[in-house]
Amino acid sequence: MTPYDAIIIGTGQAGPALAARLAKGGRRVAVVERGRFGGTCVNNGCTPTKTLIASAYAARLAQRAADYGLRVERPVAVDMARVKARKDTLVDSTATSVEHWMCALPNTTVYRGHARFVDAHTITVGADTLTAEWVFIDVGGRPYVPDLSGLEQVSYLTSESMMDIDFLPERLLIVGGSYVGLEFGQMYRRFGSRVTVVEMGPRLIGKEDPDVSDAVRDVLAAEEIEIRLDAKCIALEAAPSGALLRLDCATGAPTVTGTHVLLAVGRVPNTDDLGLREAGIETDARGYIKVDETLNTSAGNVYALGDCNGRGAFTHTAYNDYEIVADNLLNGTNRKVSDRIPIYGLFTDPPLGRVGMSEVEARRAGYQVLIGKMPMSRVARAREKGETQGFMKVLVDASSKQILGVAILGVGGDEAVHSLLDAMYGRLPYTAVQHGVRIHPTVSELIPTLLSELAPLA
C-alpha cells in the first residue's frame, strides 16, 4: 500500500492541472495514465483535428486561388503522408510535454497502467495498490460504436483510428451528421475524397436551431459533400468497393457505396472498467458518473471531472471542472458547475461559435425574446477575405435586456462569439455592448450594429 493525499486517474484536460496545483501545494499526489498522456484532446481530438483542418483550409484556399487573383496549378495535390506527419509532430510534442510535465512535478509519482477502485480510498494499478484521502476521476470517453446491422462485415474507422491514416479514402461514408462527423467530412472533401454524410435525424447538428443546421448543410453541399438525412435504418454490407450503406431516406436512392466508413455517432464514458460499484460511485443509465454541483460523486471523497461526468463534452469544460474542484477544495470557494455558460465551436469552415441558449431553448424557457440576425455578407472583413457564408444571430431577453444566446456561423465566428460572453457573465444589458466602439475591419465590429437591429422573435 502506498499512501497519497490524492490520486488522479487520467491525464486528459482536468487531471494534469489539478495534479500540478495539488503537488505545488505540498500534497503527495499519484497520477495514473493507461494510454498516451494528454488524453483525447491532445491525441485524438482537438489538437489533431484542428491541425488537419488547417491543412484542409490551405488546400481549399489553393483550390480557390483564382478568386484571389493567383495562378495555382490545378488540381491542387494534397500529400496525405505529409499532412499526417504535420499533425503527428504537433500531437507528439504536446503529448510528450504533458508527460514530462507530470513526471517532473514535485511530490508526484506517475503510474502507467489501468486504474481500478478496490474501495473509495483504494486503487490498484497493475501490481501496485495506492490509497488516498481524495480521488479524482478524469477518465474521459471513447467513440461509441453502434450496433448497426452488418457492421461485422465491414472494417470501419472511428475518430481515433482516423488519426492513423496517411492516405486519401476515395469515397468516405460518414455515419453521423454532428460535430465530429462534419469536421471530418469537410476536411476529407477538401483533401480530395468524395464524401457522403448519413444522418438519422431530419437535419445536421440537430441540437442547433434549424437556420444554423440549414446554413451548415448549404456550406457543405456547396463543396459537393453529399448529405443524406432521415436515414432511419442504417445497415452495412461488404461491397466490392469496400462498403455499402443501406439507408431508409425519405428521398433519393436507398443505398450509397464507399471505400471507407467512419462512424461518428457520439461517445461513451470510460467508466465501465473502473470498479465504480466497489467504491460506491453511482452512474446514470448511460454510464456517466453522477455528480453534484461541485462535481462530488456519491462517494464523498471522490470527484469526477471532464467528459466522464456528463456535465460537459469539451476541453474547456473539463479544464473548468478542474478550476471548480481545486478552488473549492484548496481555496474554500463555493464554485458550481451550473455557473458555467455553455459555449463551444464547430470547426467547419466557416466555423460556428455558439454561446448560451438557442432560439428553441430560449422560447421553451418562456423568455420574451428579441432577435438580431445579420448575414455575413454585410461584414466588411468577410467580404474583403472573400468568405461571406453564414450569419450572426443574437438573442436577448426583452425584460432584463440580458443576452441569452449567440450563434456566429461565419469567418472568425469561433473568436467573435467571445465578445458577447463577458457581458453574459457580467449580466450586463445588451446596450452596454451596443454602445462600445470596436476595431475596423473585424467581424466583432458588426455586433453593436446587430444589437441595434433587435426585433421581437416572431
CA 94 to chain centre: 18
Here's the x/- map for ligand FAD, 390-429, by CB under 6 A: it reads as ----------------------------------------
Residue 172 near ligand FAD by CB under 6 A? no
State the minimum distance, in angstroms, from the CB of residue 376 to ligand FAD: 21
Strand 122-125 and strand 128-137: the pairing is: antiparallel
State the minimum distance, in angstroms, from the CB of residue 112 to ligand FAD: 9
Here's the x/- map for ligand FAD, 101-130, by CB under 6 A: it reads as -------------xx---------------
State the minimum distance, in angstroms, from the CB of residue 341 to ligand FAD: 15
Please identify, using beta-carbon distances, which residue of 128 and 237 lies nearer to ligand FAD: 128
How far apart CA 169 and CA 195 sit, in angstroms, is 9
Cell of 237: 454490407
Footprint (CB under 6 A) of ligand FAD, residues 72-101:
none
Query: Which residue of 18, 22, 23, 41 would you call a contact of ligand FAD, by CB under 6 A?
Result: 41
- 100, 114, 121, 440: the catalytic one is 440
Q: How many CB atoms lie within 10 A of CB 437?
A: 7
Query: Which residue of 6, 7, 10, 283 would you call a contact of ligand FAD, by CB under 6 A?
Result: 10
Total of residues contacting ligand FAD (CB under 6 A) = 36
State the minimum distance, in angstroms, from the CB of residue 41 to ligand FAD: 3
Cell of 41: 484532446
Query: Which residue of 8, 318, 411, 417 would you call a contact of ligand FAD, by CB under 6 A?
Result: 318
Please identify, using beta-carbon distances, which residue of 269 and 405 lies nearer to ligand FAD: 269
Please identify, using beta-carbon distances, which residue of 263 and 450 lies nearer to ligand FAD: 263
How far apart CA 343 and CA 316 sit, in angstroms, is 9
Residue 45 near ligand FAD by CB under 6 A? yes
Residue 313 near ligand FAD by CB under 6 A? yes
How far apart CA 127 and CA 50 sit, in angstroms, is 38
Footprint (CB under 6 A) of ligand FAD, residues 338-367:
347
Cell of 236: 452495412
Query: What are the strands of the beta sheet with 255-258, ordered from one edge?
Result: 235-239, 242-246, 255-258
Query: Which residue of 20, 180, 256, 423 would you call a contact of ligand FAD, by CB under 6 A?
Result: 180
Residue 307 near ligand FAD by CB under 6 A? yes
E strands in 27-86? 29-33
| Burial class of 65 by CB neighbour count within 10 A (0 to 12, 13 to 18, 19+) | middle
Q: Is the bond leading into 375 cis (omega within 30 degrees of zero)?
A: no
SS (H, E, C) 80-147: HHHHHHHHHHHHHHHHHHHHHHHHHCCCEEEEECCEEEEECCEEEECCEEEEEEEEEECCCEEECCCC
Please identify, using beta-carbon distances, which residue of 247 and 274 lies nearer to ligand FAD: 274
State the minimum distance, in angstroms, from the CB of residue 253 to ligand FAD: 29
Task: Please identify which residue in the block is written with the cell numbers 488519426.
Answer: 163
Please identify, using beta-carbon distances, which residue of 180 and 406 lies nearer to ligand FAD: 180
E strands in 158-277? 171-175, 194-198, 226-228, 235-239, 242-246, 255-258, 260-263, 267-269
Residue nearest to ligand FAD (CB): 140
Please identify, using beta-carbon distances, which residue of 337 and 446 lies nearer to ligand FAD: 337
State the minimum distance, in angstroms, from the CB of residue 201 to ligand FAD: 20
Query: Which residue of 159, 196, 320, 434 would you call a contact of ligand FAD, by CB under 6 A?
Result: 159
Cell of 387: 468568405
Please identify, using beta-carbon distances, which residue of 40 and 297 lies nearer to ligand FAD: 40
Q: Does the annotation count 440 as an active-site position? A: yes
Here's the x/- map for ligand FAD, 253-282, by CB under 6 A: it reads as -----------------x---x--------
Q: How many CB atoms lie within 10 A of CB 439?
A: 8
Residue 287 near ligand FAD by CB under 6 A? no
Cβ atoms 356, 408 nearer than 8 A: no
State the minimum distance, in angstroms, from the CB of residue 203 to ligand FAD: 21
Residue 4 near ligand FAD by CB under 6 A? no
Contacts of 39 (CB under 8 A, 6+ apart): 10, 11, 12, 13, 15, 45, 138, 140
Hey, what's the torsion of the CAs at 214, 216, 218, 223, to 10 degrees? Answer: -160
For residue 407, the cross-strand partners are 354, 393
Binding site for ligand FAD (CB under 6 A): 9-14, 32-35, 39-41, 44-46, 49-50, 114-115, 138-141, 159, 180, 270, 274, 306-307, 313-316, 318, 347
Catalytic machinery residues: 440
